[in-house]
């Protein structure tokens, strides 16, 4: 028997296996489907495509038998999303946040305002969401009693909060000091730190 199987080609082996599967399916299932009868491989082969619906297979429950039951999964219902464009009259119609790269950067700067201005104490932000659902950006308008010296020029005006922070001299100085501290901590004990230490010793009288 082993020599006969070894002489068979792959196509012949596939044909034999297919015939064996058909015989097993014909033994386990009848020619017609009765109410409550499970869907088997033979019934699926005889059923035209697209005729099986989720309602037809809803009452089918698999049982512990030799047959293999086929259940068509029901499509999941999409959750209805809240399509509100504003926060409502209680919040004076605050519009929905439109996330752009500029707005994302501005929200990140606002969350890290304690790092930018270390001399002032800000309330800790404990919100889980990185960006609010509703928000609006405005422009500070100078009062009529302010002089020309208190007003910003066209070059000094920026379009976003992050641009204003980067353009201010105080923030640049604080960023530079913070950067130098981090670099000094990272280079401690390394070659650059040793060279700097040797140079300081040589300068001593």
Instruction: Express each pLDDT in 106-136 by its tens digit.
Output: 998 888 888 777 777 888 778 788 898 999 9
Residues 77, 144: Cα–Cα separation, whole Å: 58
pTM more than 0.85: no
Instruction: Count the neighbouring beta carbons within 10 Å of the beta carbon of residue 69.
Output: 13
Measuring CA to CA, which residue among 149, 123, 152 is closest to residue 139?
A: 152
pLDDT for 96 equals: 92
């Amino acid at each position: 028997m082993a020599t006969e199987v070894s002489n068979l080609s792959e196509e012949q082996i596939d044909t034999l296996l297919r015939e064996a599967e058909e015989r097993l399916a014909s033994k386990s299932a009848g020619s017609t489907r009765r109410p409550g009868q499970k869907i088997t491989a033979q019934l699926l082969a005889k059923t035209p495509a697209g005729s099986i619906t989720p309602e037809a297979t809803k009452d089918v429950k698999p049982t512990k038998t030799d047959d293999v039951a086929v259940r068509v999964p029901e499509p999941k219902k999409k959750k209805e999303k809240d399509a509100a464009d504003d926060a409502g009259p209680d919040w004076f119609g605050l519009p929905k946040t439109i996330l752009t790269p500029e707005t994302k950067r501005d929200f990140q700067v606002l969350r890290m305002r304690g790092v930018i201005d270390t001399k002032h104490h800000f309330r800790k932000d404990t919100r889980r969401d990185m960006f609010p659902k509703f928000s609006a950006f405005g422009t500070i308008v100078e009062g009529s009693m302010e002089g020309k010296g208190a007003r910003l020029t066209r070059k000094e005006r920026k379009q976003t909060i992050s641009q204003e922070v980067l353009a201010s001299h105080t923030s640049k100085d604080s960023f530079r000091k913070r950067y130098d501290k981090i670099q000094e901590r990272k280079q401690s004990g390394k070659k650059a730190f040793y060279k700097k230490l040797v140079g300081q010793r040589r300068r001593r009288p």
